[in-house]
Amino acid sequence: MAGGSSNYWEDLRKQARQLENELDLKLVSFSKLCTSYSSSRDSRRGDSNSDTTPLLNNSTQDRMFETMSVEIEQLLAKLTGVNDKMAEYTSTPGVTSLNAALMHTLQRHRDILQDYTHESHKTKANFLAIRERVDLLGSVRKDIETYKSGSGVNNRRTELFLKEHEHLRNSDRLMDDTISIAMATKENMTSQRGLLKSIHSRVNTLANRFPAINNLIQRINLRKRRDSLILGAVIGVCTILLLLYAFH
């Protein structure tokens, strides 16, 4: 009975390993299909000589995607069933002495199944996202070609509208930059004014505390005023002399 149970367990492990190998190969091919889907459709989109060949090729890739998705789901379901049978076997009363080793093996197969399931869902989601994006880009290109194939007047108006729209956007961007520079300059001047006020208040404080410094500052200011008056008088006299000389 023990030999038969052992053979049953080994058969289940062989089935699990075989299904895991098949799933690994399928997922590799599935990932390659997802990677090559976008580039192949982009390269075919540039071919303007034929409109039917790209559709046939796209349809073929879509059918391959659907077929491989179904095959992978079937393999995952079979592997899940084998894991369930292995779990039932580990709970059999006759194999309690080997339960720890069996549970370790079962857990490893469950982890592999979980990884393959996650990879399958991730690859499928990426494929669907790429297909949706490519279809959207194709629709946009088709709309652009439809506009281009219209009358020359409409195309000319569209180009003018687009250029005008671009000019307006550039003007708005320039105005935003100018306003930002002006605001930064205002903030800088405000901070400098505050700094000058602080320095002036400190100087006044020092002058009030020390009369000698206050007297020195007043003398400096008087000398500046006197020098300014003398310089103004000299400039005025020179100007009058030059005018008299010029008129004589």
Helices within 46-98 (DSSP H only): 52-90
pLDDT of residue 9: 84
pLDDT of residue 83: 92
Domain membership flag for residue 237: no
**How much is the pLDDT for 56?**
40
Coil, helix or strand for 46? coil
DSSP state of 23: H
- Is 80 inside a domain boundary? yes
In a domain, 20, yes or no: yes
- Residue 213, pLDDT score: 67
Residue 95 counted as domain residue: yes
Domain total for the chain? Answer: 1
End-to-end CA distance of the chain: 144
Give which of 41, 98, 93 is closest to 65, Cα–Cα: 41
Domain that holds residue 95: 1-41+56-146
pLDDT tens per residue across span 41-61: 555 555 544 444 444 456 787
Residue 217 to residue 224: CA distance in whole angstroms:
11
Residue 245 lies in a domain: no
Span 184-222, pLDDT tens digits: 787 788 888 878 777 777 777 766 666 666 677 778 888
pLDDT of residue 15: 92
**Quick check: is 199 in a domain?**
no
CATH number at residue 127: 1.20.58
Average pLDDT, 10 consecutive residues per value, the chain (248 residues): 68 91 90 73 50 52 86 92 88 67 87 90 85 76 65 67 84 81 80 79 70 74 87 88 78
Quick check: 69 and 121 in contact, CB under 8 A?
no
Residue 98: the pLDDT is 63
User: How many whole angstroms separate alpha carbon 188 and alpha carbon 174?
Assistant: 21
Q: Provide the pLDDT for residue 94.
A: 66
pLDDT of residue 54: 44
Whether 123 is in a domain gets the answer yes
Q: What pLDDT score does 50 carry?
A: 44
Q: Is residue 3 part of a domain?
A: yes
